[in-house]
Structure 1
């Protein structure tokens, strides 16, 4: 994250990744989840989560798992399996496209799970049209 001071009244905050933005915006909620004795799963199609951000957010780095370089079809399947396992406090997934079939799969898995799911859109990647 870097802060660009344009004028004394205007401050522009830029985040390196959507994960950093989520950590900053949802810090109280993530800290609450951190108290549970479950994993905290972060998924993306590229490396996006830095240990320094985890430390800054006050999360237990021993509980945080970041799986990177997942292809879209593996990402949906991994989210679904994580929700079904009920071993995670929450799952954060960086995803730019969710078709109706995938959305229904995730909704079904969520109904049977006590896990929270954050789907994060990554504006920094090229948008793919399907």
Structure 2
């Protein structure tokens, strides 16, 4: 995380990655999943998750799995399969341009699992969609 000071009253925080933003903003939620005996799955089409961030967020590094360099066209199917497996406490996926059909597929998969899904728009990091 990079911090820039423009004035004493204003501080802008720039995240190196959308995943770093999720770790910072959702830390209490993600830490609560450490107690479960399930995986914590992070999916993206490029390397975005650093072990130092995982450690600083207080997550169990032995439970965190990051699958990087995934094909964007298969990402929705990969998320669906992860949810259907019911072996993850949560899935965080960096995905852009979800169409209505893909959103419906993911909402259906989440409703049938006991997994939390966090979708991050890589192009607009502030946009975070959370499903339970």
Using structure 2 for the length normalisation, give the TM-score: 0.91
Cα displacement string for residues 81-111 of structure 1 (whole angstroms, at most 9, x for unaligned residues): 0100110000000011111221121111111
Q: What residue is the counterpart of 2:7 in the other structure?
A: 7
Q: d(CA) in 2 for partners of 1:36 and 1:94?
A: 23
Aligned length: 125
Q: Which residue pairs with 2:36 in the alignment?
A: 36
- After superposition, where does 1:1-130 map in structure 2 within 5 Å? 1-123=1-123
Gapped regions of structure 2 (runs ≥ 5): 126-132
Aligned-pair distance for 1:21?
Answer: 0.3
Please, what is the CA RMSD of the aligned residues?
Answer: 1.3
Cα distance per residue 1:18-43 (max 9 Å; x no partner): 10000000101100012111000000
Whole-angstrom CA distance in 2 between matches of 1:76 and 1:34: 25
Q: Scaled by the length of structure 1, what TM-score is found?
A: 0.92
Runs of 4+ in 1 over 6 A off after TM superposition: none
